[in-house]
């Protein structure tokens, strides 16, 4: 009896059983690990690239659609202002492009967390609808590994939002602080009186107009406190220009063409304690006749916004202003600083609240996922706004009011995270 020899099984020289098992588990095999170690490159699986592409496409489509809708609605409502301003400038398209280009930064800051949640829920619902999630789980890949690229992409967008909020928006806030009715800051806006708490001078006046392009106050009317009212209780002039501190000169407001008090430019300067506050040409040669200078650490931006421009400031600037003795920052400003610090955590918490709602559902309807997303965001924002209101009205401490949404929603996210651990 003749025994046939068994031929050896030919195998692909680049694939072995360890790589196959590792692929089923959703991680690179030993050959991939060798490539990582040798070449310094991180390899993504095909499913990772597929989910990332789907997530980014959804995010960009939603962002461009909502931004375009905002531009169409706002642009049509302010078209007359754009046409009038464009006559003396570089054309309508350039004016509107520049205006809404800056506005898109602010729009991204306010909508990035919501768009991340929509993109993540749509992506996962899409692979559920086409049974791709079932196939991946059948291959032995856990859900936590499947959604890892979605979480990673959301974290990157969250970090981009922080960079946008802390660097990009503060650098262009002079463009964002003016609406379509005040393009270029050349239109006069009513001044909002504000106290300098260090000198007790009331800055501004009921009939004053502010021009941001020149940092000028038209018809300034400053009220002087006791100790500075030797020549009169008010300083009235044709114009006042804000000047930043430079060299040995302090920051403050330069009054030109003084009207009241009469003859102030020939009088001696006045001080509070050892600090000169009301400077006159008699003691300071860089002042001309008919001028005076009021020293103040309240800048033109603070006087123009009257506390409403903190959304356009970076966190270090908010902290520095909190230490400025001339500014009376109340609960709202302190709350804004804490809210700025925890905003990235809130964005990621919202994402982890929404992912379990998709992964635990048996219904694969995309529109139902969007409805759940909107309902979740509505409840989330109501709690955040409610806590901010309680903090700004001193029902709660500002720090506690800012951190309370995290105290409420992080335990909820942990309790709902069961499907992510399957």
Q: Which range has the worst mean pLDDT, 111-115, 146-150, 227-231?
A: 227-231
Q: Is the pLDDT of residue 249 over 50?
A: yes
- Per-residue b or e along 83-111, where b marks 16 or more CB atoms closer than 10 Å to that residue's CB: eebbeeeeeeeebbeebbebbebbbbbeb
Does residue 39 or residue 398 have the better pLDDT?
A: 398
Look at residue 28 in the predicted model and tell me its pLDDT.
47
Contacts 24+ apart (CB under 8 A), 302-306: 302/194, 302/327, 303/191, 303/192, 303/194, 303/203, 303/204, 303/210, 303/217, 303/242, 304/177, 304/189, 304/192, 304/210, 304/212, 305/177, 306/192, 306/194
User: DSSP for 174-219?
Assistant: HHHTS-GGGGGG-S-EE---EEETTTTEEES-TT-EEETTTTEEES
**Which pLDDT value is given to residue 23?**
42
**Nearest C-alpha neighbor of 313 from the set 339, 349, 279, 290:** 339
pLDDT, tens digit (0-9, with 9 covering 90-100), for 398-408: 889 999 999 99
Write the pLDDT tens digit of every residue in 88-102: 777 888 888 889 999
**Using one digit for the tens of pLDDT, what is the confidence trace for 362-382?**
656 667 777 777 888 889 999
With a CB cutoff of 8 Å and minimum separation 6, the contacts of 74 are 100, 180
What pLDDT does residue 108 have? 94
Q: Which of 395, 225, 314, 394 is nearest to 322 (CA)?
A: 314
Count CA atoms closer than 13 A to 38's CA, side-chain side.
6
Instruction: Return the SS3 of 3.
Output: coil
Q: Both tokens of residue 327? A: 């500014």
Report the alpha-carbon distance of residue 326 to residue 322 in Å, rounded: 10
Q: Could you read off the pLDDT of 183-231 as tens digits, one per residue?
A: 766 677 777 788 888 888 888 777 788 888 788 888 888 888 888 888 8
pTM for the model stands at 0.79
Residue 54 pLDDT class (50, 70, 90 cuts): very high
Is 128:137 a contact under the CB 8 Å cutoff? no
Top mean-pLDDT range of 125-129, 284-288, 383-387? 383-387
Instruction: Check residue 212 and give its pLDDT.
Output: 80
| Proportion of the chain in helix, strand, coil states, percent, rounded to 5 | 55, 10, 30
Q: Which of 53-57, 68-72, 231-235 has the lowest mean pLDDT?
A: 231-235
Mean pLDDT value across residues 314-332: 80
**Cis omega (within 30 of 0) on the bond before 169?**
no
């Amino acid at each position: 009896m003749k025994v046939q020899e068994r031929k050896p099984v030919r195998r692909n020289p680049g694939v072995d059983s360890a790589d196959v098992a590792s692929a089923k588990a959703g991680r690179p095999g030993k050959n991939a690990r060798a490539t990582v170690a040798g070449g310094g490159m991180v390899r993504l699986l095909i499913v990772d690239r597929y989910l990332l592409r789907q997530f980014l496409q959804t995010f960009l489509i939603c962002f461009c659609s909502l931004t375009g809708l905002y531009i169409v609605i706002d642009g049509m409502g302010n078209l007359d202002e754009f046409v009038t301003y464009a006559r003396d400038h570089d054309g309508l398209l350039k004016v509107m492009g520049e205006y809404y280009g800056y506005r898109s930064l602010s729009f991204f800051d306010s909508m990035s967390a919501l768009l991340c949640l929509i993109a993540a829920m749509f992506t996962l619902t899409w692979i559920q609808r086409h049974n791709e999630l079932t196939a991946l789980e059948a291959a032995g890949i856990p859900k936590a590994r499947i959604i890892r690229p979605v979480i990673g992409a959301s974290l990157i967008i969250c970090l981009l939002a922080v960079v946008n909020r802390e660097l990009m928006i503060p650098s262009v806030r002079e463009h964002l602080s003016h609406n379509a009715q005040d393009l270029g800051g050349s239109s006069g806006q009513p001044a909002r009186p504000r106290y300098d708490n260090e000198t007790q001078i009331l800055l501004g006046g009921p009939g004053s107009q502010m021009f941001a392009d020149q940092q000028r106050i038209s018809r300034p009317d400053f009220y002087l406190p006791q100790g500075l009212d030797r020549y009169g209780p008010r300083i009235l002039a044709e114009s006042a220009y804000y000047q930043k501190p430079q060299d040995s000169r302090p920051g403050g407001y330069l009054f030109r063409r003084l009207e009241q008090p009469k003859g102030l430019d020939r009088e001696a300067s006045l001080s509070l304690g050892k600090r000169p506050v009301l400077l006159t040409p008699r003691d300071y040669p860089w002042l001309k006749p008919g001028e005076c200078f009021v020293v103040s650490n309240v800048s033109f931006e603070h006087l123009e916004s009257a506390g409403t421009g903190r959304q356009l400031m970076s966190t270090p600037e908010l902290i520095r202003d909190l230490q400025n003795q001339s500014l009376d920052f109340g609960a709202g400003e302190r709350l804004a600083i804490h809210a700025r610090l925890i905003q990235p955590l809130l964005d990621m918490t919202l994402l982890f609240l929404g992912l379990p709602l998709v992964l635990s559902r048996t219904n694969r309807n995309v529109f139902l996922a969007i409805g759940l997303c909107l309902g979740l965001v509505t409840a989330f924002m109501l709690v955040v706004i409610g806590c901010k209101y309680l903090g700004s009205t001193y029902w709660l401490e500002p720090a506690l009011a800012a951190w309370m949404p995290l105290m409420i929603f992080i335990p909820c996210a942990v309790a709902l995270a069961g499907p992510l651990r399957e």
